[in-house]
Structure 1
Amino acid sequence: MDFHEKVVWITGASAGIGEALAQAFARQGARLVLSARNEAELRRVQAACAPAEALVLPLDLAAPETFAAAVAEVQARFGHVDILINNGGISQRSLALETRLEVDRRLMEVDYFGPVALSKAVLPGMLARRAGRIVVVSSLVGKFGTPYRSAYAAAKHALHGFFDSLRAELYASGVGVTILCPGFIRTGVSVNALTGDGQALGQMDEATAKGLAPADFARQALRVIAQGRDEATIGGRETWGVLLKRLAPGLFARVLRRARVR
């Protein structure tokens, strides 16, 4: 896939993985739609992506009632969407029994229902053109749950179930679905992660601090998207966990039980 002049809509584009993806697509000559809640940060990313054309479109993934108007605005500006990248979300750092139910619901609303609702809003236009790709930024915890991330893992597992099903339903429609599973990426994801009472953790994980640079993730992600792959894990040694769980589930369970570090 040649990304030149392609219209790429990225949620969670104000920082981290989303910002790195925006800059990577900009270098390929794509036209961008940048969405997140923080408009000031989106303007900063827009400037960093110049001279690529970029529409700043603030969006709250927990407010699906606004998505139809957002899609209409994108269509008015660019006519269509070639690639939707569902990247926006919130992580978690709290034990399951210490997490309020409203926090569990918040994580599901933003990390699962938001991407699903936005994809449903964008898909009719893609299907009418018989072209497009839905990209979902999941996580390794979409493949296996880990301590301190129960609701986050649940939301990411749900994404896999929904978008694997959607991919099968869209077979031969001209619209593809790609799921990206990052490992530890050096972003502010842990700083903004929700604790049991819904407050932000406010500090960076050691593992996250040592993770893959966002630009390196973005470079690999664009290659996966260009190849039209269904799914890919991107990260360091932690990605071996997917294979270990498959080949030695008992050993993997013992390893997870010792993983008490946030």
Structure 2
Amino acid sequence: MPGSRWSGRALVVVPAWNEEVCVGDTVREIFAAVRGVDVVVVDDGSTDRTAQRARGAGADVIELPYNLGVGGAMRAGFRYGVRHGYDAVVQVDADGQHDPAEIQTLLDALTDADVVIGARFADPDDPYRVRGPRRWAMVVMARVLSRLARTRLTDTTSGFRAARGPAMELFARNYPVEYLGDTIESLVIAVRSGFRVTQVPVSMRPRRGGRPSQSPLKALVYLLRANLALMLALMRKWSGVGSYVDEKALN
């Protein structure tokens, strides 16, 4: 029922690439904010002390031999979650921009959905803003995926999200590794497989360390690549995807 509180076993997956400055504090904050969750950091081929800092903060660590990108790291995280019998997986960035206090909000929303997005633009009072070509791309993708999912989605590129049960199993086998596949294409896969996708408003914080690279040229490149990623996701067919919910019901 709406408003129910999540009571299953939850795993927080933190994909991290050269995040030694941030990852330890992020892991400690997750443990402090949400009781009863486990944390696994997927060290995505880092060349610094990301893995050591994560272990020192109390997380389990999966060390990938080379950099696969967020999609590859999250596929490893979903496989870990399925293999160890978790009921839900929550993705949290290592850089501290996602507020661990809102993890519980995503988990609670899973009582009425299979995939929950932490939407940065759902609350009009939230000061977080993206402008220019990057924002245009986000608006287009949100409108297309809202029609596909038959619900209002405002932030389809958010990396703060949760999935439960059969959706976890689907992602463990099919989570896309291409650019923007971990956000846009994964939602297309989920919707076309019959899963319920929804969103909850979340806030964003500044990075704990490092600087995101931004420039007008990179924003324009993002616009072009984002639209290409969306078109490919809508055109592509995935083996074993499309009737996943029905198949699980019959087994």
What's the TM-score once normalised by structure 1's chain length? 0.37
Higher fraction of helix: 1
